[in-house]
Chains A and B, each alone.
Chain A
């Protein structure tokens, strides 16, 4: 599903590459934690998958496509197959829960009948029944993140990228967020989650890829956060 082949990414005016000779595979339906300290290259990895950045060297395949050969005007079609969740939620403050989720479908031109059908389904999936008409500022952080996850998942992407989704949320609420991610993963969606949260990684027992200074230092199935290799 995601295939990195010897990928190096150097940002302009920076000596050390953000990612260096990274080679890894993420299979369809996998749940992968991306761990490592700040600046280890987790966000660069996610941006490369979205083709927000181009690799300096190496090849990247996402959902069976070679990103180097993907023309700019086809990038939107790639992004429709990838859902994204961020630490800061990125909801539209002037739209309700329902409208925020529907927005993601409206802007890719889905018919209204379809939107009316799938948005309530996905609101139920993330556990926000009865809150469809709330505004983002009336929701707790955990609830806002559920809205963001619903928006990322509503178009049934093949891959869900989560960049520290529990970074702004207390540990008790984080468990609920992880349950939703797990539920999404069980529908067959590949989930890649960058995180600092050791407790979550340890409790989930999924594949762990650890980055340090842009290099993969550990790739372990059913791993934990801080374990030495």
Chain B
């Protein structure tokens, strides 16, 4: 095997149809980076979901004199015995891990802190409009929310039950939708990449038909005849992958890592996640280019 000779042939091949090679590299780069972005989204959604599933809880808001909902105006503000009753009922439920009472003052303090960026809302909300509540931690947040809520729903002293996951759902939907769109576009582009690889290799085989016919005549092995073309496809794959790697690092650094600016709850992806996605993109690129070149060559470079 003469590596220098093979690479010289590859270099000639790449230079001869430069425009096709550049087009191929660009398409491989874009499709791989979109595929990678899709995968990063999947990881982002998964890790965020896992993070919040461990923390999701039920907030049971209690009636106070200032709350004017129909539920409360019927029963009046919560009494000490009603509060005791609600707490014991929640605690006796096997799906509940813990029940914490949060006083109205504590809730108000937290409200002021969370909405500190919106002073007019804070100032226009009197302290007694924020009720006290029970914060209920559940064993299996997704499954048990409705069941636990229905037990105490409408009990005297209970105003409303707020389920954290109903707050998170729109966020998940947004991420899922973005991921699906990105993956779909990536798949279309991968198909385009496959066709482009096939076309480039075909052109290359046509450009080098004299060399190829002489190689066959003097008894070059099939492997030797096909190798320059295979390497050509692979090199396009590697260059496309390099560009895609840059784009993926940028996607993570400038976009995914900044999501927490727009959503109060976000989990950052680790560098390992990024490396995993980049390696997967390399394997996909090499596989697509290598396999397509190989199959194309079998049609155009018969012995």
Chain A residues closer than 8 Å to B220, beta-carbon distance: 76, 107-108
The distance from the CB of B244 to the nearest CB of chain A, in whole angstroms, is 34
User: Is B210 in contact with A90, judged by CB distance below 8 angstroms?
Assistant: yes
A79, A90, A155 — which one has the most chain B CB atoms within 10 A of its CB? A79
User: Is B218 in contact with A108, judged by CB distance below 8 angstroms?
Assistant: yes
Chain B residues closer than 8 Å to A82, beta-carbon distance: 219
How long is the Cα–Cα vector from A151 to B217 in the complex, in angstroms?
11
- Given contacts A107-B224, A109-B2, A112-B2, A79 and B214 within 8 Å (CB-CB): no
- Given contacts A75-B303, A109-B1, A109-B2, A103 and B214 within 8 Å (CB-CB): yes
Contact with A along B281-303 (1 / 0, CB 8 A): 00000000000000000000001
How long is the Cα–Cα vector from A135 to B213 in the complex, in angstroms?
20
How long is the Cα–Cα vector from A112 to B303 in the complex, in angstroms?
26
A72, A78, A81, A107 — which one has the most chain B CB atoms within 10 A of its CB? A107
B residues 213-242 with Cβ under 8 Å of A?
A: 213-222, 224-225
Nearest to A72 among chain B residues (CB) is B303
B residues 176-213 with Cβ under 8 Å of A?
A: 210-211, 213
User: Is A107 in contact with B213, judged by CB distance below 8 angstroms?
Assistant: no
Secondary structure call for the B interface: helix
The distance from the CB of B60 to the nearest CB of chain A, in whole angstroms, is 76
User: Is B2 in contact with A76, judged by CB distance below 8 angstroms?
Assistant: no
Residue B262 at the chain A interface, CB threshold 8 Å:
no
Residue of A79, A81, A106, A112 near B217 (CB, 8 A) is A79
A75, A82, A106, A111 — which one has the most chain B CB atoms within 10 A of its CB? A106
Number of interface residues of A (CB under 8 A): 26
User: Is B1 in contact with A151, judged by CB distance below 8 angstroms?
Assistant: no
Chain A residues closer than 8 Å to B218, beta-carbon distance: 79-80, 84, 104, 107-108, 151-152, 155
Residue B5 at the chain A interface, CB threshold 8 Å:
yes
Nearest to A155 among chain B residues (CB) is B218
User: Is B214 in contact with A90, judged by CB distance below 8 angstroms?
Assistant: yes
Nearest to B12 among chain A residues (CB) is A94
Residue A222 at the chain B interface, CB threshold 8 Å:
no
User: Is B219 in contact with A76, judged by CB distance below 8 angstroms?
Assistant: yes
Residue A68 at the chain B interface, CB threshold 8 Å:
no
User: Is A77 in contact with B219, judged by CB distance below 8 angstroms?
Assistant: yes
How long is the Cα–Cα vector from A50 to B215 in the complex, in angstroms?
14
The distance from the CB of A17 to the nearest CB of chain B, in whole angstroms, is 24
Residue A198 at the chain B interface, CB threshold 8 Å:
no
The distance from the CB of B124 to the nearest CB of chain A, in whole angstroms, is 83
Chain A interface (Cβ within 8 Å of chain B)? 50, 72-73, 75-82, 84, 90, 92-93, 103-104, 106-109, 111-112, 151-152, 155
Could you pull out 17 A-B pairs where Cβ atoms are within 8 angstroms?
A73-B222, A75-B303, A79-B216, A79-B217, A79-B218, A80-B219, A82-B219, A84-B218, A90-B214, A103-B211, A107-B215, A108-B218, A108-B219, A108-B220, A109-B1, A152-B218, A155-B218
List 10 A-B pairs, minimum CB-CB distance, nearest first.
A79-B219, A80-B219, A107-B220, A104-B218, A76-B219, A107-B215, A76-B221, A106-B5, A84-B217, A108-B220
